[in-house]
Structure 1
Amino acid sequence: MAEGGTSENGLQEKTRAFPQPVKVQLIRNTKVFINNEWRASIRGKRFPTFNPATGVKLCDVEEADREDVDEAVEAAKAAVQRSSPWRRMDASSRGKLLHKLADLMERDRLLLATLETLDTGKPFLQSFFIDLDGSIKTLRYYAGWTDKIHGQSLPIDDSFMCLTRHEPVGVCGAIIPAEFPPGVVNIVPGFGPTAGAAIADHRDVDKVAFTGSTEVGQLITAAAANSNLKRVTLELGGKNPCIVFADCDLQLAVEEIQKGAFYNQGQCCTAASRIFVEESIYEEFVQRSVENAKKIVIGDPMDPQTTHGPQIDQQQFDKIMDLIESGKNEGARLEHGGGAVGEKSLFIQPTIFSGVKDHMRIAKEEIFGPVQCILSFENQQEAVERANNSPYGLVSAVFTTSMDRALSVSAAMETGTVWINCYNALHAQTPFGGYKMSGNGRELGEYALAEYSEVKTVTFKLTETT
């Protein structure tokens, strides 16, 4: 999220003029996309989508149901048959198609970033420089893998020869967020929660990949288990700890952690939501965090100066405000923010609590909002034990100038990713996934390829010739 330059509050700085959003007169392609064509849903159901910054309705989207899922699965089954054009296509040509999609996204990057901001409320420059940039780089990364997936030749006993093949797992159902908040599942416009469950328990879907909240992920897993022994990978929630030691670059820690806490208005599974700070620097860390938060610009997400937009919808807004109130009631000190911006908007001020204790709701529950919880610790062992005392284990961060401490603490953290002196450093090349209730399996990097392939062992009996 922060690669390729410096950044502040998740906003990448560029020396050239900022790109500008485009005017969207009409939102097209609001139907269900099946078998390479846009079509109306079979039952004719539709749902509205709104601009969270203004409350203005953007459009109505066709809502798919089980019958639409059946058609999508049938089209996918046809595509994986050995006689299909896709299966007959050579590997490098498949890579060219992924590059072509990346080229088209590059061409329409301004439009896509504008639509992302209209739909989710995140600042336009974050949509342009982070979301679109990451999507394009991921497509290009995997385009390069298409002709590099191969098996091995294995030495075995006696007169045998063995080789392995990596073959596609089959029909895959990807149930992913249409936007960051948990529980909103979508694949292309129209496939909502009902269709998500239908995908998970469809007997002809061989693999299900889900990204979203832990609670919905458990339902998806149950649905998949009811059908057959299909593969399931889950990228779920987090309550991500940061450990800040007294020997760190303090200002760097403040800025990186706050970027992690407030990016996308806190609506990230990777949000930096539990910050453990060594006692000797605790008060200064809190003070600098408040000063840094005051620089955050709340406003129209289309304005290049804006770094903080609205929450995605009223339900998420209400949940966040309830958790903020719980923090006050349970004795945490509200250092900054804590309120709504305007009477009827979905904007919430970046919020900082100090004096947070491990038993408080804001220290235990995934807030998915712009709330920074700062706790204190006395020594390294205590910090690690408290950081790991969570059912979640998605990401963590360590801030220290000691390489020995960085290595020992990162080894002890029970999370799928550990960032050292940085935050939200996500790249297409690096695997991403969680421990414990934060999911199973990995996305991105070479590791993700194993989630979508079967390994076949082929053994030959050799006869000696003279």
Structure 2
Amino acid sequence: MATHGNGSSDFFAKMPEIKFTKLFINGQFVDSVSGKTFETIDPRNGEVIARVAEGDKEDVDLAVKAARHAFDHGPWPRLSGSERGKILMEFANLIEEHAEELAALDTVDAGKLFAGGKATDIPHVIDIIRYYAGAADKVHGEVLKMSGKFQAYTLREPIGVVGLIIPWNFPCTLLSLKTSPALAAGCTMVVKPAEQTPLSALYYAHLAKLAGVPDGVLNVITGYGETAGAAISSHMDIDKLRFTGSTEVGRKVMQAAAASNLKPVSLELGGKSPLLIFDDADVNTASSLALSGVLYNKGEICVASSRVYVQEGIYDEFVKQLVEKAKSWVVGDPFDPKVCQGPQVDKKQFEKILYYIEQGKREGATLLTGGKAFSNKGLYIEPTIFVDVKDDMLIAQDEIFGPVFSLMKFKTIDEAIKRANNTRYGLAAGVVTKDFNVANTVSRSIRAGTIWINCYFGFDVGCPFGGYKMSGFGRDYGLEALYEYFHIKSVVTPIYNSPWL
């Protein structure tokens, strides 16, 4: 089984000071209207980190009112793109100065690796903000020569007040991914972080104000999805919704938006991504890619390559190497730099993963390693590998969002493509092969928004990301994400008696 990290008091000493626990509305930290609070829990040990203000419909109304006033009458949409860009650059600089605190907040709130947060997550947040800061003054319309004696030009105008609902698996990264293009576009917003991970979002709001983002532009409502999230989704004065989370909740968000004011919605939803490994692949490289493809961030990532298809010629050797690597994977306190995997985010997710593991056994899959909780304290689960998995088993169809592999054998490229597409999801896929004809055929045949060839988790702020099928629609990253925060207005003028027409 996987080994356990040190977990000594040296690592627990990095527990950050909790500075912000109230709602952030119109530039101020305030109590909820009801005065209610809720506990945010450390998944390492089950202890209460802090009590956080529990926002509800009345608080959402106040936040939307502030955002609406800031959009209709405030300076933010009326600043030039370069002026907004300068403020966003200062925002990024402040995040860089406070990177350790932000990383530590996501470690105690979400169980994320502290070293990974400092080295990867927060630097990526900074890159995202700087990318959209640089793009803010590069938004242009077009001049159109129309048929007849008319000409036109188009304007890209900020869409208005946006509602942003953020998940718990990458709290800082996904917050910046939603807010940065909206801020660059000149929108104002109401943000609801996940109830499991509210702390870094509040710190983020504090730094935004220090950077010069005007009051009312960025509002943060902490609370529960069924109350605060539902109020945002159905609010008549919110002009656009962006949501990342499960397909089930995404459907509810879309229904609420349609039932209210028909606001446009962008959804990045679940995944059950296939990784196709062909006979010509280097087995050591392929098994390492597969290992990180499922175990990275303890499997709590929407593009986890949790369906691993291996061609029959290397299948046995691949399984042997993968099991050996999984057994050496270090599970433990995420503040320990030797640890590879921390605890699952909360008890509900922990129990959901264990349910699917038991379901896999009941359906006839063979458990090779792992399969149970790691310790009596904390929400740790062993890396778990199943073989003899059938495509119709729940562990091969449902998004588990945990450290669970389903390994399957295939013979031909056509079989692999057909089985890879046998899912309601279409977020990402991976291909490992030395044959570019195979790589190109597979990448053009799999119905998913991102295909990685001989790599996995190849993200960049300039590369659009989003799903097919029930993995949602709309794109994060790139200029495509920025353009989702604009209306396009066409302005048409006549041309009279021109000798040049």
TM-score, structure 1 as length reference: 0.92
Secondary structure of 1:144 counterpart:
helix
Aligned equivalent of 1:16:
none
Aligned equivalent of 1:131:
121
Alignment of 1:28-107 (within 5 A): 28-81=19-72, 83-107=73-97
The alignment status of 1:306 with 2:339, answered yes or no, reads yes
Amino acid at match of 1:190: T
The alignment status of 1:421 with 2:454, answered yes or no, reads yes
Post-superposition CA distance 1:166-193 (Å, at most 9, x none): 1111110001114459994677461431
Distance across 2 between alignment mates of 1:352 and 1:164 = 54
- Indicate which of 263, 266, 276 corresponds to 1:233: 266
Aligned equivalent of 1:409:
442
Aligned equivalent of 1:4:
none
Is the 2:361–2:367 contact (alpha carbons within 8 Å) kept by the matching residues of 1?
A: yes
Distance across 2 between alignment mates of 1:31 and 1:377 = 53
Is the 2:16–2:105 contact (alpha carbons within 8 Å) kept by the matching residues of 1?
A: no
Alignment of 1:190-339 (within 5 A): 190-193=222-225, 194-339=227-372
Distance across 1 between alignment mates of 2:259 and 2:368 = 48
Amino acid at match of 1:37: Q
Amino acid at match of 2:70: A
- Indicate which of 342, 349, 358 corresponds to 2:375: 342
Is the 1:332–1:356 contact (alpha carbons within 8 Å) kept by the matching residues of 2?
A: yes
Amino acid at match of 2:105: L
Distance across 2 between alignment mates of 1:128 and 1:349 = 24
The percentage of counterpart residues that share the same residue type is 47
Aligned equivalent of 2:137:
147
Segments of 5+ residues of structure 1 without an aligned counterpart are: 1-19
Distance across 1 between alignment mates of 2:244 and 2:223 = 14
Aligned equivalent of 2:103:
113
The alignment status of 1:433 with 2:424, answered yes or no, reads no
Segments of 5+ residues of structure 2 without an aligned counterpart are: 1-10, 175-192, 202-219
Displacement of 1:465 in angstroms is 6.1
TM-score, structure 2 as length reference: 0.86
Distance across 1 between alignment mates of 2:316 and 2:389 = 13
RMSD over aligned CA atoms reads: 1.8
Displacement of 1:320 in angstroms is 0.7
Amino acid at match of 1:61: V
Aligned equivalent of 2:151:
161
Is the 2:312–2:410 contact (alpha carbons within 8 Å) kept by the matching residues of 1?
A: yes
Is the 2:428–2:451 contact (alpha carbons within 8 Å) kept by the matching residues of 1?
A: yes
Distance across 2 between alignment mates of 1:76 and 1:22 = 39
Q: Comparing 279-288 with 83-92, which one deviates more in the overlay?
A: 83-92
Is the 2:15–2:108 contact (alpha carbons within 8 Å) kept by the matching residues of 1?
A: no
Displacement of 1:21 in angstroms is 8.7
Post-superposition CA distance 1:98-128 (Å, at most 9, x none): 1111101100001111111011112111221
Is the 1:327–1:362 contact (alpha carbons within 8 Å) kept by the matching residues of 2?
A: yes
Question: Would you say how many aligned residue pairs link Structure 1 and Structure 2?
Answer: 446
Is the 1:21–1:124 contact (alpha carbons within 8 Å) kept by the matching residues of 2?
A: no
Alpha-carbon spacing, 1:248–1:67, altered in 2? closer, same or farther (3 Å): same
